[in-house]
Copies of this chain bind each other. A is one copy, B any other.
Amino acid sequence: MTNITTDILIIGAGPAGLVAASTASENYPNKQITVIKEFEKAQVPCGIPYVFGKILGDVEKNAMSCGGDVANISKIVDTVTSIDIEAKTVTATQHTISFDKLIFATGSIPFVHKNFIDSIPLDNVFVMEKSYDEVKRLQEYLKDKKKIIVIGTGFIGVELACELSTVGKDVAIIGGGHVLAGSFDEDMAINAEEIMKDMGVKLALGQHASRVIKENNIAKSVELCDGTILEADVIILATGYQPNTQLAKNAGLKLARYGGIWVDEYMRTKNKDILAIGDCSGRRDFITRDPSKVMLASTSAAEARVAGSNLYSIKNLKGFNGTIAIFSTMVGDRAFASAGVTEARAKQENIEYSAGFFEGMNRHPGTIPDASKQSVKLITMKNSGQIIGGQVIGDKEAGEIINIIGLAIEAQLTVHNIISLQVATQPLLTAAPTTYPIVKAAQNTLKK
């Protein structure tokens, strides 16, 4: 057992933990920062689906950079077993660490529906774990398998299904509604479904998987609610994640509604020396103000910057409050991106909204060789015109167009700001100045 004393202790070295460490290091150069992590090797979490297809093709290519050596940051590989908040000590298998400030960045673990918990021990049933060893194990296992069933139609499920189809696997994906339904309305999501079908992915949508049928230690098939049986060599559950908070719970910290560690806007628990950031923290939705289940590395990184720069005093007023669900992905060669609320969600939350849609070309004139279609939907508050959501389909730049919409949401801009917005337009890079899609969609929200 080694005894260590540190100023700032961070548990976890995912995106949240790493960004908190580097931000704290810059803001408090005289403090000693210690990061304790469970495994030596780490994967880029969002890169994991691409390990299984042609794009990365190997777990080794998805290594996460640990940020290099910084003078006042030490790293320890060990497993934390308990935390004494009062005594300000953390006990791990081989270390006891005394701290002044403690940041939980313990991330998330796969969520498995109760119907499938019994199936997890089967040899050919996998959940989407994020550790190097588990990703490697799945990659090896898939090598000589053909028929794969992916359960779950969120971003990870869709990305995984598409990637597996590019390396000749026979893939079916099962989900209760349209794909990516949390982030896209039906009119947008069906475009992703068409592409997936063209890629050869079988879509079993509109009904949930009800059980796994097994023989000995091997799953043979999945039964859907309507009794349909889909056979499989491998079943992968991509049914979301839940905050990893066992340690925090054992330490007596208060949890928020969906199980994340309760924190204020500066990511502090009720004890101002104990913070939580990233997927293990409890989030609120920027628009509805309700607790939010959204888990995103980019949001985690933003939280980590807030935590890392306000540890010993509030130096920077938090710019924006609440989580906007801001996502992007590719399906085939098209980018799909979303921010804020969908129309469906706005209805659910009883928000009086207007929606505007525009489809144009991403280059101008449309004769530019790589020109392709670009669609934007904007969702605004009916009375004030404040922008509360957006969805984009297009070429790769759609991944940044959504960040324009995200900034408009966070800065609480209105459709009137957008209508007089000045944008850079260029034939080879963007839509035409006369039909810039965010502006046109904004104008269309004003038509009744």
A interface residues (Cβ-Cβ under 8 A, vs B): 15, 18-19, 23, 26, 44, 46-47, 50, 55-56, 61-65, 67, 296-302, 305-306, 309, 316-320, 323-324, 326-330, 335, 337-339, 364-365, 367-369, 395-404, 406-408, 410-411, 413-414, 416-430, 432-434, 436, 439, 443, 447
Contacts and interface: CB of A to CB of B under 8 A. Distances in A.
Contacts of A324: 422
Contact of A319 (B50, B297, B323, B417): B417
B403 A424 contact: yes
A422 B323 contact: yes
A429 B365 CA distance: 24
B316 A419 contact: yes
A367 B61 contact: yes
Given A44-B364, A320-B420, A365-B63, A400 B430 contact: yes
B317 A428 contact: no
A320 B421 contact: yes
A326 B47 CA distance: 33
A67 B323 CA distance: 39
A424 B421 CA distance: 21
Contacts of A337: 424, 429
Most buried by B among A302, A327, A335, A434: A434
A407 B390 CA distance: 16
B365 A434 contact: no
Given A330-B426, A330-B428, A406-B423, A15 B368 contact: no
Nearest to A365: B44
